[in-house]
Amino acid sequence: MKRKSLILPIAIFVLLCFTAFKKDNHNFQLSKQLNIFNTLIKEIDLFYVDTIAPEQMIKNGIDAMLEKLDPYTTYYTEEGSQELKMMITGKYAGIGSLIRFHEKKNTTVIAEPYDDMPAAKAGLKIGDLIQSINGVSVIGMSSDSVSNMLRGEAGTKLTIVVERPGEKKPVTIKLERESIALPSIPYYGMLGDSIGYLQLESFTDGCSKDMRRAFIDMKSKGAQSYIIDLRSNGGGSMGEAIEIVNMFVPKGVKILETKGKTKRSNETYKTTREPIDTVSPIVVLVDGQTASAAEIVSGALQDLDRAVIVGSRTYGKGLVQTTRELPYNSYLKVTTSKYYIPSGRCVQAIDYSHKNPDGSVARIPDSLTNVFHTVAGREVRDGGGIQPDIEPKSEKLTTLLYHLAQDMVIFDYATEYKLKNATIAPAETFCISDADYEAFKSYLKASGFSYDKESYKALKQLKKMLELEGYTEATKPEIEKLEKALQHNLDHDLTFFAKDVKRFINDEIIKRYYSQKGCIVHAMRDDNDIAEGCKLLNNIEKYREVLSPKKK
């Protein structure tokens, strides 16, 4: 009996010693490697044949090190800390405009000035080609470098010289930088008499208050059901996501749990306020770019059977980052935990701790995911984003559209169109005519536009493989037949994909007359996901059926 009574304390002692040894060994290895790294940098600085730039060298080393972890753990220097602050708050000081580098013009172009912001108020227009900023030429300069020049302290002045289509001489624009707060909700409004629609673009500080005001406004206009559009929403503040779920869920309900290495990383989050609406039917729209905080909202509302999710499978980011302050005003954004939504599942689609030998990572296959259940008992799965309840048929972008966008030929055509047409029909109804489309075709051919089909590129690769393996002669008739079928025929492609090309042209033209809101209103007209959402909200029996467990 005495021997048995001694076994447990001895085993505990051995375990504690082993744990302490492991911890001490880990600390020793960390100290050892830091000492080696510190000495190595000093040796290189002393003996390398050329003078090194310490800041850039260390930054490169840190970036390479963090790259081995996950894409979300990032180091920000003092100079780059403004980018981090903008991500968190959605605010920066600048002119308030999207810009793009125009390859053919070899300079940066104004792509979209935001309403009521310095660029728009000073008279900058879509299509303006930036020549210089405060006397410094930006010809050939990357758009990132130009962006850095345009940003600065609020209240400071800028002089921008642009080449404006339709003007013979350069145009000089003087403006003053302002604090820019990008709108988290670019549009909300009514679809018919009873459905409220809201597009939430990001989860920046205060977006839940904006959303609450928008919902109250739509309710006062007769909204009885709602569509929340989270497509292409990359996320942001976890706290704002919880506040938004709280708008539709009773007080005291668990929304989220985080689990990490430290006690601070292990938290449970519940709703803390009285909701504004717990009964009105809700549809949430998602796609492959819906991520992070946007997945918390869509996933929590799905797990609690509070909304029907419509669209395509979301991105699958179930990791939480916190910001750590480092010396000399630098910062580290580091992944500290995973989050788990009400059913207990984590939506993380990639396990970065198990990389392939070549450093690549892959999504968790569906066969390895686990089944969880919503409050009502519906089956949901972890490990691969949020799977929608309803998946409308999605339209795929053609290679032609990709190259038209990259070449900026539609962009330039829309600028020309604006010069020739003072006004157009309202955004809701505008569509280019057949004559306009024929004019675009002529414009496109005159521009010298060309592109390689992906199928033709694949055929070239196939021919190389056949040659290597000795099958060239044996397959010659079939290959020649394929080559003929895949020959570049721009007229054929412009006719075959006319509907898609026209949609892109319409969007670019509308942007020049009605800005971002006009584009959203116009795009809603042919949106399959919105149409499916409206169809469901107009059929409450079907809506309830979707939220009910399938009978076995």
pLDDT in tens, 319-333: 999 989 999 888 999
Q: How many CB atoms lie within 10 A of CB 149?
A: 18
Give the three-state DSSP class for 379: strand
CB of 549 closer than 8 Å to CB of 375: no
Q: Which residue has tokens 């910001």?
A: 323
Residue 450 scores a pLDDT above 90? no
- Per-residue pLDDT band at 551 (split at 50, 70, 90): confident
CATH entry, 187-391, from 3.30.365.10, 3.90.226.10, 3.40.50.1220, 3.40.1160.10? 3.90.226.10
- Within its chain, how far is the Cα of 181 from the centroid? 18
CB of 271 closer than 8 Å to CB of 242: yes
Angle at 292 between CA 286 and CA 296, to 5 degrees: 70
Task: Convert 301-314 to b/e letters by CB count within 10 Å (16 or more is b).
Answer: bbbbbbbbbbbbbb
CB of 386 closer than 8 Å to CB of 290: yes
- Per-residue pLDDT band at 490 (split at 50, 70, 90): confident
At residue 98, the pLDDT reads 93
The class level of CATH for 91-181 reads mainly beta
Q: How many CA atoms lie within 13 A of 105 on its CB side?
A: 23
Alpha helix stretches (DSSP H) within 280-420: 293-303, 399-407, 409-420
User: DSSP class of residue 14?
Assistant: H
- Straight-line distance from the first to the last Cα atom of the chain, in angstroms, rounded to the nearest whole number: 56
Tell me the longest C-alpha to C-alpha distance in the chain.
103
Domain with CATH 3.90.226.10 in the chain: 187-391
At residue 487, the pLDDT reads 63
Give the three-state DSSP class for 446: helix
pLDDT tens digit sequence for 163-221: 999 999 999 999 999 988 888 999 999 999 999 999 999 999 899 999 999 999 999 99
- Per-residue pLDDT band at 415 (split at 50, 70, 90): very high
**Close Cβ partners of 131 (under 8 Å, ≥ 6 residues apart):** 107, 137, 138, 139, 161, 162, 163, 170
Residue 218 CA to residue 235 CA, distance in Å, equals 24
For 254-268, give the DSSP string. EEEEEEESSGGG-EE
- Per-residue pLDDT band at 11 (split at 50, 70, 90): low
**Range in 90-99, 309-318, 451-460 the model is least confident about:** 451-460
Residue 288 scores a pLDDT above 80? yes
Residue 272 scores a pLDDT above 90? yes
Give the three-state DSSP class for 250: coil
At residue 509, the pLDDT reads 97
Residue 359 scores a pLDDT above 80? no
CB of 393 closer than 8 Å to CB of 140: no
At residue 149, the pLDDT reads 92
pLDDT tens digit sequence for 381-411: 998 899 999 999 877 777 888 889 889 999 9
Residue 344 φ/ψ region, left for φ over 0, alpha for ψ in the -120 to 50 degree band, beta for the rest: left
- Within its chain, how far is the Cα of 324 from the centroid? 23
Question: Which is nearest to 331 in space by CA: 153, 79, 91?
Answer: 79
Angle at 254 between CA 250 and CA 256, to 5 degrees: 130
Q: How far is CA 32 from CA 18, 22, 39, in A?
A: 21, 15, 11
Residue 465 CA to residue 458 CA, distance in Å, equals 11
pLDDT tens digit sequence for 61-82: 999 999 889 999 999 988 777 7
Q: How far is CA 222 from CA 124, 306, 512, in A?
A: 39, 20, 32
- Within its chain, how far is the Cα of 452 from the centroid? 27
Residue 500 CA to residue 537 CA, distance in Å, equals 28
Residue 493 CA to residue 151 CA, distance in Å, equals 42
Domain with CATH 2.30.42.10 in the chain: 91-181
At residue 239, the pLDDT reads 94
At residue 529, the pLDDT reads 96
Residue 433 φ/ψ region, left for φ over 0, alpha for ψ in the -120 to 50 degree band, beta for the rest: beta
Q: pTM of the entire structure?
A: 0.85
For 323, list phi and psi in degrees, rounded to 5. Answer: -100, 130
For 162, list phi and psi in degrees, rounded to 5. Answer: -125, 155
Residue 306 CA to residue 301 CA, distance in Å, equals 5
